Amino acid sequence: MTNHRRALADFRWEGVDLRAYKDEAAAPFRSVTRQVLATAPDLKGELRYFEVAPGGWTTLERHAHVHAVTILRGAGRALVGDEVFAVRPLDLVTVPAWAWHQFRASAGEPLGFLCMVDAERDRPQLPTAEQRAALEAIPAVARFLAGS
């Protein structure tokens, strides 16, 4: 057993599997991968690396658990609650409990980020048609969700 996992090229790591972001059928997303970098029975947090390919996006969702995100690679935009902002490497993003959120990579660059969460956490909720309409009533959010 080693306590050192070397970084490989292109944001991969020794002994860390590249996984599907989610079950395709369960929630809409495009071009996202997931690597679990740190998880242990005696650790209450978990650290994952997500990478959104150029033009891709994570699921629009919300939940009780909090995300603490550190951008590592590329460029993109984030929606948190009713705020939309551009993100770049080393920026920090907090997703509070029950805030709707989504990450979108720029057309020309992937967006890679670390995400710290509680190991024990609730399942995400997807927006109802009504909740999505309420988000789209905010012009900046509507533009973000349309990918424009």
Nearer to its own copies, 2 or 128 (CB): 2
Which pair of tokens denotes residue 69? 């995100």
The torsion defined by the Cα of 75, 105, 34 and 102, in degrees rounded to 10, comes to 110
Per CB under 8 A, does 63 bind its own copies?
Answer: no
Report residue 92 CA to chain centroid gap.
12
Q: Which of 25, 40, 129, 146: binder of its own copies (CB under 8 A)?
A: 40
Which x/- pattern, by CB under 8 A, does the window 10-39 give for its own copies?
A: -x-x--x--------------------xx-
Q: How many residues bind its own copies (CB under 8 A)?
A: 47
Q: 70 catalytic, yes or no?
A: no
Per CB under 8 A, does 95 bind its own copies?
Answer: yes
Instruction: Find where tokens 């660059």 sit.
Output: 109
Which pair of tokens denotes residue 109? 């660059």
Count other C-beta atoms under 10 Å from residue 36's C-beta. 13
Which among 115, 135, 141, 145 is annotated as catalytic?
A: 115
The amino acid at residue 67 is H
Part of the chain binding its own copies (CB under 8 A), chosen from 20-28, 52-60, 117-125, 138-146: 117-125
Per CB under 8 A, does 92 bind its own copies?
Answer: yes
Per CB under 8 A, does 134 bind its own copies?
Answer: no
How far is Cα 144 from Cα 147, in angstroms, rounded to an integer? 5
Annotated active-site positions, please?
115
